[in-house]
Amino acid sequence: MKKLLQILLCLLVFFSSYAQQNLSFIEANQAYNKGNYNKAIDLYEKILNSELHSANLYFNLANSYYKLQKIAPSIYNYEKALNLDPTNKSIKINYDYAKQNRLDHFQNLPKGFLARTYEKLLSMKTDFWAWCAVVAMLIFVVGFVLFYRSTFASQRKIYFGIWSFAFLFVLLSLFLSFASYVSKENTKYAIVFSSEITIQSEPNPRSEVLLKIHEGTKVKILDQLDNWKKVMLINGRTGWIPKEGIKEL
């Protein structure tokens, strides 16, 4: 009986907290609709601090920052929203508008067809490839059983082709699932939050200045040394910047 009461108490606290955060979200949306973007930001950030995350929450927060012409935090939160809901057209459209306000417009590093295809495959969710492996395994089992029970040579050829292809697809799906997971774990990006920051050739302020970048620019983090981060731009240029000038995604 005591254990049941503890469970009920935990559920009560959970639903009470959820209801409170839902009310805060509604209040934040009302503040946004009235043009009180600073209040909306405070309320959205408060919800995030309670460790409740959603694509809509990041999207609304990004819109609030965008209305105040705060480019870096708007782009940062659009990125977070897309990470949770990568197919959302509204997020993509608003994100594109925000990126147009950046001072830096670098061209993507040219890549071959195979490289682009492989990156696209890795960008898909790890769970997607895991489910593909499960489905392919079921097809493999069914094809193998039908192959074993078939008496006609023509049918055996068909079923042999089916279970052979399914087996190869299982291996491919498992490989892509693992590669996608490793890629996402080892690849880190950040958004520049400083209004202007210099990229140095070495991790010290006395080294050669390679170029200057501005707020809202997205960089890929390659390495870290003390208070410096080695980064790469989308055009392939690399260098070192102070870590306080960026915010990791």
The answer to whether residue 107 scores a pLDDT higher than 60 is yes
Q: Say what the pLDDT of residue 38 is.
A: 93
For residue 17, give its domain range. Answer: 2-99
Give which of 94, 108, 19 is closest to 61, Cα–Cα: 94
Q: Which domain CATH number covers 39? A: 1.25.40.10
Check if the beta carbon of residue 219 is closer than 8 Å to that of residue 233: yes
Q: Which single residue is written with the structure tokens 């915010």?
A: 247
Tell me which amino acid residue 105 is: H
Of 187 and 198, more confident: 198
Q: Do 210 and 173 belong together in one domain?
A: no
Bridging pattern class, strands 228-232 and 246-248: unpaired
Bridging pattern class, strands 228-232 and 218-225: antiparallel
Of 94 and 149, more confident: 94
144-193 pLDDT, tens digit per residue, is 888 888 888 888 888 888 888 988 998 998 888 888 888 777 789 999 99
Q: Do 171 and 136 belong together in one domain?
A: yes
Q: Which domain CATH number covers 229? A: 2.30.30.40
Asked if the structure places residue 69 within a domain, the reply is yes
Q: Say what the pLDDT of residue 3 is.
A: 53
Residues 6+ apart with CB under 8 A from 212: 196, 197, 198, 199
Alpha carbon separation from 224 to 202, 230, 242 (Å, rounded): 11, 6, 10
Asked if the structure places residue 233 within a domain, the reply is yes
Residues 6+ apart with CB under 8 A from 243: 224, 227, 228, 229
Domain count for the chain: 3
Mean pLDDT of the chain: 85
For the full predicted model, state whether its pTM sits above 0.75.
no
The answer to whether residue 12 scores a pLDDT higher than 80 is no
42-76 pLDDT, tens digit per residue, is 998 998 888 778 899 999 999 999 999 999 999 99
